[in-house]
C-alpha cells in the first residue's frame, strides 16, 4: 500500500516543494495452499489524496518474491462474515480441524468375534426306549397288571386242562369196570341157558365190545375237543395280552417323544 503526505500549503507557486516520501514495500497476503478453498480477498480502498497536483513518486525496488516454505498444515476454509472479516470454522487457536471421527460399528467377518451370550441351559439327555420304559411308572404298572392277568389265565387254563384229563381217566376207568361187569353178566346169562358155546353168545359179546369201543371213542374225542378248546383260549388270550402290551408300550413311547420334543 502507498501512503502520501499532504502538502503543508495549498498554494501553487511559493510553497516549498515537499520531499519525496519513500513508499513502504507492498505487502502481500499469502494464500492458503490450493488444496483448500481460499477465502475471498478483501479489498482495502485507498482514501482519496487531497493534493493539488501530482507529486513525483520514487518507487522502491520491487519486492523480492517470497519463498514459500513447506505447505502449512491443513486449515479449515475461511468464509467472510457479514462485516467482511475473515472467519473460520475453528477460530480458536487456529488449529486445523480434524476429520470427524465416525464410530466404528460391529464388523462381522471370518476374524471378527461375535458377542458372547449366556449359554442356554443344556437340554436333558434323551434316554433310550428301554431305559425310559423301565422308569415310566404308568407303563410299568400297566405292564404289571397285564402280566398278572396273563399268569392268572394261564394258571386257570392249565388247571382246566388237567381237570379234563383227569375226568377222562376217571371215565375210562369206570367204562373198564362196567365192561368187565357187563361181560361177566353176559357170560352167566348165556351159560345158564346152555348157550355159552353157541354163536349167539359170540355175537352178543362182539356187539357189546363194539358199543364199548364207540363209547371209548366218544369219550376220547370229547377229551381232545376240550383240551383243544382250552389251548385255543390260551393262545387267543396270550395274543390279546401281547397286543395290550404293545399298545401300552406305544403310549409310553409317545409320552417320551412329547416330553423330550422328539419328532417323527
Taking only the tens of pLDDT, the chain with its 264 residues reads 444 444 444 444 444 454 544 444 444 444 544 444 444 444 445 444 454 454 554 554 555 544 555 555 555 444 555 554 544 444 444 555 555 555 555 555 555 555 567 667 677 788 999 999 999 999 999 999 999 999 999 999 999 999 999 999 999 999 999 999 999 999 999 999 999 899 999 999 999 999 999 999 999 999 999 999 999 999 999 999 999 999 999 999 999 999 998 886
Cell numbers for 45 = 480502498
Is 75 domain-assigned? Answer: no
Q: Tell me how far apart the alpha carbons of residues 3 and 6 are, in angstroms, rounded to a whole number.
A: 10
80 has which bridge partners?
A: 86
- Residues of the domain holding 136: 129-258
155: phi then psi, degrees, rounded to nearest 5: -65, -45
Is 240 domain-assigned? Answer: yes
- Angle subtended at Cα 9 by Cα 7 and Cα 14, rounded to the nearest 5 degrees: 110
Is 186 domain-assigned? Answer: yes
176: phi then psi, degrees, rounded to nearest 5: -65, -40
Is 207 domain-assigned? Answer: yes
Q: What is the pTM of this model?
A: 0.51
Burial (CB count <10 Å: 0-12, 13-18, 19+), residue 16: exposed
Cell numbers for 110 = 471370518
Task: List all residues 6 or more positions away from 176 whose beta carbon is below 8 Å from its beta carbon.
Answer: none
Is 143 domain-assigned? Answer: yes
Is 51 domain-assigned? Answer: no
Is 243 domain-assigned? Answer: yes
255: phi then psi, degrees, rounded to nearest 5: -65, -40
Per the structure, how many domains does the chain have?
A: 1
Residue with cell 364199548: 212
Is 98 domain-assigned? Answer: no
Amino acid at each position: 500500500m502507498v501512503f502520501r503526505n499532504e502538502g503543508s500549503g495549498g498554494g501553487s507557486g511559493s510553497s516549498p516543494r515537499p520531499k519525496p516520501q519513500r513508499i513502504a514495500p507492498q505487502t502481500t497476503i499469502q494464500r492458503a495452499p490450493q488444496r483448500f478453498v481460499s477465502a475471498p480477498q478483501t479489498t482495502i480502498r485507498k482514501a482519496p489524496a487531497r493534493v493539488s497536483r501530482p507529486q513525483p513518486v520514487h518507487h522502491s525496488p520491487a519486492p523480492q518474491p517470497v519463498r514459500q516454505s513447506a505447505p502449512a498444515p491443513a486449515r479449515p476454509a475461511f468464509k467472510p462474515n457479514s462485516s467482511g472479516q475473515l472467519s473460520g470454522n475453528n477460530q480458536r487457536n487456529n488449529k486445523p480441524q480434524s476429520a470427524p471421527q465416525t464410530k466404528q460399528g460391529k464388523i462381522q467377518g471370518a476374524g471378527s468375534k461375535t458377542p458372547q451370550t449366556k449359554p442356554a441351559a443344556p437340554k436333558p439327555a434323551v434316554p433310550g426306549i428301554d431305559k425310559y420304559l423301565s422308569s415310566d411308572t404308568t407303563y410299568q404298572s400297566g405292564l404289571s397288571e397285564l402280566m398278572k392277568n396273563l399268569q392268572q389265565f394261564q394258571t386257570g387254563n392249565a388247571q382246566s386242562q388237567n381237570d379234563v384229563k383227569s375226568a377222562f381217566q376217571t371215565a375210562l376207568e369206570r367204562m373198564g369196570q362196567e365192561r368187565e361187569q357187563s361181560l361177566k353178566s353176559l357170560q352167566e346169562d348165556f351159560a345158564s341157558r346152555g348157550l355159552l358155546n353157541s354163536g349167539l353168545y359170540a355175537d352178543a359179546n362182539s356187539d357189546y365190545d363194539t358199543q364199548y369201543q364207540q363209547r371209548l371213542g366218544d369219550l376220547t374225542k370229547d377229551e381232545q375237543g376240550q383240551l383243544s378248546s382250552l389251548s385255543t383260549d390260551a393262545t387267543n388270550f396270550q395274543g390279546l395280552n401281547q397286543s395290550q402290551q404293545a399298545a401300552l408300550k406305544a403310549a409310553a413311547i409317545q409320552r417320551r417323544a412329547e416330553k423330550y420334543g422328539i419328532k417323527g
